Amino acid sequence: MAEFRFIHCSDLHIDSPFKGLTSQAPALARALRESTFNAFQNIARLALQEKVDAVLIAGDVFDGADRSLQAQLKFRRILKELSDQEIQSFIVHGNHDPLDSWAHTLEWPEHVTIFPGNKVQHVPVKKDGKNIAWIYGISYPEKEVSENLALKFRKEKEEGFSIGLLHANVGQHPGHDNYAPCSINDLVSRNFDYWALGHIHEHKVLRESEPAIVYSGNTQARHLNETGQKGCCLVTLATNSPPNIRFMTTDVVSYRSATLDLQNAETINDVIRSIQNQCEELAKETIPREGLVVRLNLTGRTIIHKELQAAGTLNALMEEIHGFFEGHSPWIIVELHAETAGTYDINTLKEGKDFIADLVNLCDETEKEELNKKIDESLKPVFESWAGRKYLEELSAEGLESLIQKSRNLALDQLVDNS
């Protein structure tokens, strides 16, 4: 059998909006939004550069909820470029871009295969007139697919390599919706050479060979919880040798979280300088293609804690930082979280015999069911009965704990007269 070389990618989420506070830098919001598309462009560039035989896309090309015609037109343009160079593209739809969410009349370029949603279809990859591989695939007809789609795959052709293209949650991966759930064994039992999977945003090789089972991960991170490099897999299948799977980065924007200890900061200017330095440091470490989104948690006991807590201070700081980095390459967006504390010493306060000691001790107790309940109760008007509650996240146990700490600091800021 000949060699089959292809790119496996998934979860492009082209044009999905950045999930974070971008009102700070509207111009960069656009850059952020375009990052997913630019990442896909990088894949196409890689495909042309490496002269691959095919590009496999394992679902979630778009964000269903945010689907736009423009995104589809952009996507088609790239596919056309590949098609013009005789590179075949294979696409299955995932939970974010089920078949019912696409524009039907959009005409796809010649060498593009979009798999149907009703059954597994197989399409050959031709090279020098020979079928070097068969791509099997099935799309999500609608968003929620609870069926084990893996079981629908059946090897139909013996010639060439068999590759399964599937958007699924293999092994009930936490943190992702459990769509088209299946197990590794389900996949192994299909007797394929390679499973190109999508859905999980982290690059994972579940099995090295016979068959190789791979999540390529998404091509571009979209929020601060998706840190680390993002990209696609450049795969070479050859007879009698294990698959060669190389992870290639494609992302143009990197996301980093860091803490910044402001213990020694005495003025807001010190804070600004520290943030600038930290950002530059991070940019040097990360070397993103276009831009860097940084979440900075400001920590430490500092005498300017109260100032930082004041309404509008963080926004002003962010504005200042963005102004500073304007025109910087890579561009930098900073999201600041103030987790600083006043210069008072909690332990000393705890030892006191006064009201403040009572308050501090109240928060630090391990058993505080009653307090938790009371706080929970007090938050209900917003988190349970308010019309906008659906946009809010439910308060987890950790969330509550952190809230209590935050509130404690807030109360201490008011109660402890540092002057």
Partner 1 sequence: MQLREIHIDGFGIFCNKRVTGLKPGLNIIYGKNEFGKTTLLEFIRRILFGFPTKKEKSNLYQPVNGGSMGGSLKVELKNGEGLVISRTPGTHGGDVRISTPQEVLRGQDVLNHVLGNASKDIYRNIYAFTLDELHDFNSLSGDEVKNRIYGAGLGLGNLSLKNIEKDLENMCTQIFRPRGACQLSDLLEKIKVNEQAIQSIQKNLTLYDELQGQHKKLIETKTAVQNSLQDLESEKRILESQIHLYEDAVLYMEAKDKLESMDDYSSFPKNALNSFKSLAQGKESLEERLEEEKESLNSLKSALESLKINHELLKNEESINRLQQSTQSIHSALQDAAKVQIEREDLDMEISSEIKSIDRNWDEDTLLEFDLTEAEKDQIDQFFEEFESLRKEQDLFLDRLESHRRIKAEEASKGWNIPHWLKQFHYGFTGAGIAGVILGGYLGNYPLLGAAVVIVGGGIFLFKKIIEEKNSFSREDMAEKNLAHQYEKKKQELDQKFDEWRKWLKQRKLDPGIAPITTKNIGKTARQIKSMISQRGRLDERIEQMRETLKEAENRISSLTSLVETVSPDNEILANIETLCQAFAESKVNNERRELLEIQQKERDEKISRLEAQLKTNAKEIENFVHSVGATDIETFHVKQAGFESYQDLKKTVEQKKGNIHSNVGLGQHFDQFLDDIRSTPLEEIKQNLGKKLTNYSDLQETREQLLQDIGETRNELEKLAANNDLVERQNELESQKQELKSLAETWASYRSALVLIEEAKKRYEKTRQPGVIRAAENLFSEITSGAYDHIIKPIDSDDILIENDRHKRKGVQEMSRGTLEQLYLAMRFGLIEEYESRSEPLPAVLDDVFVNFDDERDQKLIEVLNQFGKQRQVIVLTCHQRSLEAYKGIGANQITV
Where do contacts with partner 1 occur on this chain (CB under 8 A)?
15-23, 26, 29-30, 33, 66-70, 73, 101, 103-105, 352-359, 362-363, 371, 374-375, 378-379, 381-383, 385-388, 391-393, 395, 403-404, 406-408, 410-411, 414-415, 417
Minimum distance, C-beta of residue 201 to partner 1, in the bound complex (Å): 18
Is residue 26 reached through a cis peptide bond, with omega within 30 degrees of 0 on the bond before it?
no
Give min distance, CB of 197 to partner 1, in A.
Answer: 27
- Positions of E strands within 159-304: 161-167, 194-198, 204-207, 212-215, 231-238, 241-249, 253-261, 291-301
Please, which residue, 185 or 385, has the CB nearer to partner 1? 385
Nearer to partner 1, 48 or 411 (CB): 411
Nearer to partner 1, 50 or 66 (CB): 66
CB of 364 to partner 1, least distance (A): 11
Cβ 380 to partner 1 shortest distance, Å: 10
Residue 333 DSSP symbol: E
Which residue, 128 or 393, has its beta carbon nearer to partner 1? Answer: 393
59 close to 140: Cβ distance less than 8 angstroms: yes
Shorter beta-carbon distance to partner 1: residue 29 or 248: 29
**Least distance from partner 1 to the Cβ atom of residue 125, Å:** 30
User: Least separation, in Å, of the C-beta of 320 and partner 1?
Assistant: 19
Closer by beta carbon to partner 1, 151 or else 382 = 382
What single DSSP character describes residue 177? -
* Distance of closest approach, residue 321 Cβ to partner 1, in angstroms: 18
- CB burial string 181-206: b at 16+ within 10 A, e below: bbeeebbbebebbbbbbbbbbebeeb
Q: Which long-range contacts (CB under 8 A, 24 or more apart) does 209-215 make?
A: 209/242, 209/243, 210/242, 211/164, 211/187, 212/242, 212/243, 212/245, 213/170, 213/184, 213/187, 213/188, 214/8, 214/245, 215/10, 215/170
Q: What is the dihedral of CA 397, 407, 370, 399, to 10 degrees?
A: -10
- 18-46 b/e (C-beta count within 10 Å ≥ 16 → b): bebebebbeebbebbbbbbbbbbbbbbeb
Residues 6+ positions from 241 with CB-CB distance below 8 Å: none
Instruction: Kindly state the smallest distance separating residue 253's Cβ from partner 1, in Å.
Output: 15
Shortest spacing between CB 16 and partner 1, in angstroms: 8
Nearer to partner 1, 29 or 238 (CB): 29
Q: For 174, which DSSP code?
A: T
Nearer to partner 1, 66 or 177 (CB): 66
Closest listed residue to residue 223, CA positions, set 284, 173, 175: 175
Q: Which is nearer to partner 1, 183 or 407 (CB)?
A: 407
* N residues, the chain: 419
Q: How far is the CB of 101 from partner 1 (least distance, A)?
A: 8
Element (H, E) at 126: strand 121-127
Burial-class residue 99 by CB neighbours within 10 Å (0-12, 13-18, 19+): middle
Q: Which is nearer to partner 1, 74 or 127 (CB)?
A: 74
Query: Which residues 6+ apart lie within 8 Å of 107 measured at CB?
Result: none
Residue whose token pair is 């010493």: 345
Dihedral sign for Cα atoms in the order 357, 363, 364, 366: positive
Instruction: Give the three-state DSSP class for 41.
Output: helix
Q: How far is the CB of 268 from partner 1 (least distance, A)?
A: 20
Q: Which is nearer to partner 1, 151 or 362 (CB)?
A: 362
Q: What does DSSP assign to residue 107?
A: P
